[in-house]
Amino acid sequence: MYQSFHEESERRRINYQFSRTATHVKAWVDRGYIDKIIFNLLSNAFKYTPVGGEITVYLAVNENKVLSVKVTDNGIGVPADKRDTIFDRYSRFTSSLDSMGIGLNLSYELAVNHHGCLTYNNRMDVCGSVFTLSIPIGRDEYAENEVMSEQQLSLTSDGPNGYQQREQLFISNPLNDRCVLIVEDDIDIQDILHQELSQYFHVMVATDGAEAVEMLEQKLPDLVITDYMMPNKNGMELLQHIRKSSYRYLPVIMLTAIDSENTELKSMIMGADAYVTKPFSMQLLIAQTVNLIKQRSYLKLDYANTVSDDDVKPTGAKVILPELITEERDLKLIARFDRYIDLHMSDANMNIDNIAEALDYKRTNFYKKITSLVGCSPKEYVRKRRMQHAAEMLKDEKLTIAEVAYQLGFSTPQYFSTCFKAYFGIKPSEYQKR
């Protein structure tokens, strides 16, 4: 990690030093997380240290088996009235220090997760900062559920970037298939928004309004969260572009450190759906995101249910809106449902009664829950999943349509062909010839 900043130190003529009290240190730590903390401390040091300045990294282990990594610089330091809140999320500093608090909050939380701490002190001799990471390195400091097993370690130690692969094991799929575009030029704020929102949605990231416009032309998200102040094209200009485009209906949340009624009024007049000032509650931002996506979905639903064109939907059929999933247990229920369907795919007698019983639900409760989560009845969901499997199986020219039908639990090939055409719009024989 120290070496990765060597080129930057030469470019800016910074006296960059490393000293230590031990040659080798064995420590029980999460390498990926420790790298993140130290990378953030060094990034801040280089960001706020002038050309020709000095930065020192000092590593030591005391008699209590506590590892200390100290990063010292002679940069601008932190104002006295901001030192007590420097590790708070979205602390308001001067404009030149705004991004420091974001990354430091993440680093502080990672240090605490290691039963350690991250502290700040001003240099006594000259202007500058001293950040100290202190973490215990002994195995005794951690409970069993905090330590990876040998099997888990073997899954993550392959290759030179094994610790990066380990991190990916903890990145779960989002709870919904909806997509949110984050437009933010501050990398630290990008990271924290991406980290929090990706639990619920697929996330795209742009560094300014101009890049966001290019991304919108390629793929439309379900909602846009944009910063107000950005280079190239700012948040207001991006909002203006969206409201004049073919995707003018996109919900937009304006995120800014400018707490001004005049700015908020301009944003609302331009068409922002919400105006959020920093510092803010992440839970509140997520709730606003969920509600805005729901509201826009309800509008689409109302329109769909007024359409009578048979090519769009059968006359009298009512479109059901799937819920936005905000609880992991709901996602797990769908996964269990999928797993049951896959295991009983060839069972022609599979029905809602035996599925509900197998998943430990009452029939009525299961029907209501699944219908709200997936937007259709359990019976229709099973049929859709069978059709998706059918499409994959028909790619194998060696399989006959009858074989596919019986393997997927259909009573006759004729009924299978009827369901397949209703779902895909063509007969299975035509699909297989493609």
> Domain of 404: which CATH number?
1.10.10.60
In a domain, 309, yes or no: no
Q: Is residue 169 part of a domain?
A: no
3-state class (DSSP) for residue 111: helix
170 in a structural domain: no
Q: Could you read off the pLDDT of 270-320 as tens digits, one per residue?
A: 889 988 887 667 778 888 888 888 877 665 555 444 444 443 343 344 444
Domain assignment of residue 312, yes or no = no
CATH of the domain at 79: 3.30.565.10
Q: What Å distances lie between residue 139 and 132, 151, 177, CA to CA? A: 22, 18, 40
Q: Answer yes or no: is pLDDT of 432 > 90.
A: no
Structural tokens at position 72: 């010292």
pLDDT of residue 154: 40
Does residue 290 share a domain with residue 184? Answer: yes
Q: Quick check: 326 and 180 in contact, CB under 8 A?
A: no
- pLDDT tens-digit series, residues 84-140: 777 765 444 443 444 444 467 778 888 888 888 999 888 877 788 999 999 998 887
**What mean pLDDT is predicted for residues 61-70?**
89
- Residue 343 placed within a domain: yes
14 and 144 together in one domain: yes
Q: Is the same domain home to 22 and 108?
A: yes
Check if the beta carbon of residue 289 is closer than 8 Å to that of residue 273.
Answer: no
Residue 238 pLDDT more than 90? Answer: yes
Rounded CA gap, 380 and 371, in Å?
10
Distances in Å between the Cα of 427 and the Cα atoms of 201, 389, 401 are: 35, 15, 10
Concatenating the DSSP letter of every residue in 6-71 gives: HHHHHHTT-EEEEEES-S-------HHHHHHHHHHHHHHHHHHSPTT-EEEEEEEE-TT-EEEEEE
Distance, CA of 356 to CA of 371 (rounded, Å): 13
Domain membership of residue 419 as a residue range: 328-433
Confidence of residue 323 (pLDDT cuts 50, 70, 90): low
* Whether 69 contacts 81, CB under 8 Å: no
Specify whether 345 is located in the same domain as 424: yes
Q: Measured on CA atoms in the order 82, 88, 91, 93, is the torsion positive or negative?
A: positive
Count of domains forming the chain: 3
DSSP letters of 360-410? T--HHHHHHHHHHHHSS-HHHHHHHHHHHHHHHHTT-TTS-HHHHHHHTT-
Token pair listed for 5: 């900043």
Q: 84 has which bridge partners?
A: none
Q: Are residues 294 and 205 in the same domain?
A: yes
Q: Based on the domain organization, do 204 and 276 belong to the same domain?
A: yes
Q: Are 206 and 116 part of one and the same domain?
A: no
Q: Quick check: 319 and 377 in contact, CB under 8 A?
A: no
Model confidence, pTM: 0.44
Strands (E), 159-312: 179-183, 202-206, 223-227, 252-256, 274-277
Answer yes or no: do 190 and 136 share one domain: no
The whole-angstrom separation of Cα 113 and Cα 135 is 10
> Do residue 299 and residue 355 come from a single domain?
no
| Least confident among 36-45, 56-65, 227-236, 274-283 | 274-283
Give yes or no: residues 134 and 186 share one domain: no
Query: Lowest-pLDDT range, 164-173, 294-303, 381-390?
Result: 164-173
CATH number at residue 275: 3.40.50.2300
Q: Residue 17: pLDDT above 90?
A: yes
**Domain finish residue from 100, 130, 163:** 163
Whether the Cβ atoms of residue 319 and residue 313 lie closer than 8 Å to each other: yes
For 316: left if phi > 0, alpha if psi spans -120 to 50, otherwise beta; the answer is left
| CA-based R_g, the chain, Å | 28
